[in-house]
Amino acid sequence: MTVTETAESAVSSALEQSRVESHLNPPASYDLADHPVPTGREEVWRFTPLKRLRGILDGAASTADLVREATLPEGVTLSAISAAEALALGELAPNERPAALAAANADGALLLDVPAEAVVTEPVVIRLSGSSVDDLVWGRLLYRIGAHAEVTIVLVHSGSARYCAISSFLVGDGAKVNVLSLQDWDDDAVHLGRDAIRVGRDASVKHTSVSFGGDLVRMHANVEYAGPGGEAELLGLYFADEGQHLEHRLFADHNAPKTKSHVVYKGALQGKGAHTVWIGNVLIRKVAEGIETYEENRNLVLTDGCQADSVPNLEIETGEIEGAGHASATARFDDEQLFYLRSRGVSEKEAQRLVVHGFFNDLIRKVDIALVEDQLLATVEAELAKNVLKDDA
């Protein structure tokens, strides 16, 4: 299904990549002076239509909030804390202006606490909804998952707002965490989100970002390791419609030996002006011997007039690694697949529907959260109904 494909599995080829001044690791700082208002020419902003951020980056004070509804299984607590407490807990500092603004402007922070050794079988569900894009909302969230705890956390964003949030996941040693953030906004919402994860020693974290709604969604998922043996699986699924800008930026910072990162993001695009951006940054530091990393981004372009930008980027400072690879592909429908299905009597639209579901299915299965699986399948179906399955399409 590939029109253009680059796949590299050999470490050697990655090593040849030029050592430009690293933008992978801008200094973390709470000081806004360290994060000037971007012009749009900066490497990290060049894909983002700044105008459509509707002034978020000006950083105006606001007391507006999203309506919050939480399902907290026994043992799990959600509480308001002060900014000072957030810092003391080890919040992962902002390395970009939106996150710095969120930290500066939010009124304290929210802490979700999962005690050490708690095995939480039911998912934690937090629903955040906004009522108008006129509302500017600053969000600051911390998730503290104690050592050897096991938990699934589902975060659902809906309605509309201009929402800018900084979230930190502090994952204790040996913990197992499965996080899903669903961006299911109304058409006009703007969402700038930074999720940063610190993976404890021998802990394993799965983080999934799913973006369907919103006018502009720009999400970071950053991972670093508090010790050796940590594993992170970063998954993503997005479906961009006419005029939508959906941007996902990943950063796996292998700052400890024997750590793993595995990234798979898949997206579909349809309609004029649908734009997706995927940036997959991986940094393997000198100390990070024996690590494994793989990242993959696949885009399926369903109609004309869409643009999918996909930039894998691997920086390696040590030669002693187990494996490093990446793949990036953007393709249209595969004529051979459609022909095969249609040669069995399946109509063209039905064949396209099968192929798109097939494209996302393995990813949805990997997410492994029963609560949202049906919803994700249904949303893919609803997205298809807008274009591919439309009668006059």
Partner 1 sequence: MSTLEIKDLQVQVQTEDGPKEILKGVTLTIKDGETHAIMGPNGSGKSTTAYSIAGHPKYTVTGGEVLLDGENVLEMSVDERARAGLFLAMQYPVEVPGVSMSNFLRTAKTALDGEAPKLRTWVKDVNGALDRMKLDTAFSSRSVNEGFSGGEKKRAEIAQLDLLDPKFAILDEIDSGLDIDALKVVSDGINAYAAREGKGLLLITHYTRILRYVKPDVVHVFVDGRIAESGGPELADELEANGYEKYVSTPAAGV
CB of 362 to partner 1, least distance (A): 5
**Furthest-apart CA atoms within the chain: distance in Å:** 65
Residue showing tokens 């500092």: 93
Q: Which is nearer to partner 1, 27 or 345 (CB)?
A: 345
Residues in the chain: 393
Q: Which is nearer to partner 1, 31 or 348 (CB)?
A: 348
Say if CB 57 and CB 98 are below 8 A apart. yes
For 259, phi then psi, to 5°, come to -105, 160
Q: Which is nearer to partner 1, 262 or 342 (CB)?
A: 342
CB of 124 to partner 1, least distance (A): 29
CB of 339 to partner 1, least distance (A): 6
Q: Which is nearer to partner 1, 285 or 357 (CB)?
A: 357
Say if CB 241 and CB 276 are below 8 A apart. no
Q: Which is nearer to partner 1, 135 or 350 (CB)?
A: 350
CB of 328 to partner 1, least distance (A): 17
CB of 385 to partner 1, least distance (A): 17
- Amino acid, single-letter form, for residue 74: E
- DSSP designation for 42: S
Strand partners of residue 197: 169, 223
Strands (E) in 146-291, as ranges, are 150-171, 176-185, 190-199, 204-211, 216-225, 231-240, 245-254, 260-269, 275-284
Q: Which is nearer to partner 1, 320 or 362 (CB)?
A: 362
Kindly tell me the burial class for residue 334, based on how many C-beta atoms sit within 10 Å of its own C-beta (0-12, 13-18, 19 or more).
middle
CB of 360 to partner 1, least distance (A): 7
User: How many Å apart are CA 256 and CA 244, to the nearest integer?
Assistant: 37
Q: Which is nearer to partner 1, 117 or 350 (CB)?
A: 350
Q: Which is nearer to partner 1, 14 or 351 (CB)?
A: 351
3-state secondary structure (DSSP) of residue 335: helix
User: How many Å apart are CA 372 and CA 153, to the nearest integer?
Assistant: 11
DSSP 280-323: EEEEE-TT-TT-EEEEEEEEEE-STT-EEEEEEEEEES-S--SE
Token pair, residue 195, equals: 């999720």
CB of 390 to partner 1, least distance (A): 18
User: How many Å apart are CA 323 and CA 236, to the nearest integer?
Assistant: 22
CB of 294 to partner 1, least distance (A): 18
Say if CB 138 and CB 165 are below 8 A apart. yes
CB of 350 to partner 1, least distance (A): 6
Single out the residue of 185, 197, 194, 193 nearest to residue 161, CA to CA. 185
CB of 337 to partner 1, least distance (A): 5
CA end-to-end span of the chain: 21
Token pair, residue 200, equals: 């404890």
Q: Which is nearer to partner 1, 157 or 353 (CB)?
A: 353
Q: Which is nearer to partner 1, 311 or 338 (CB)?
A: 338
Residue ranges that bind partner 1, judged by CB under 8 A: 335-337, 339-348, 350-351, 354-355, 357-362
Say if CB 143 and CB 167 are below 8 A apart. yes
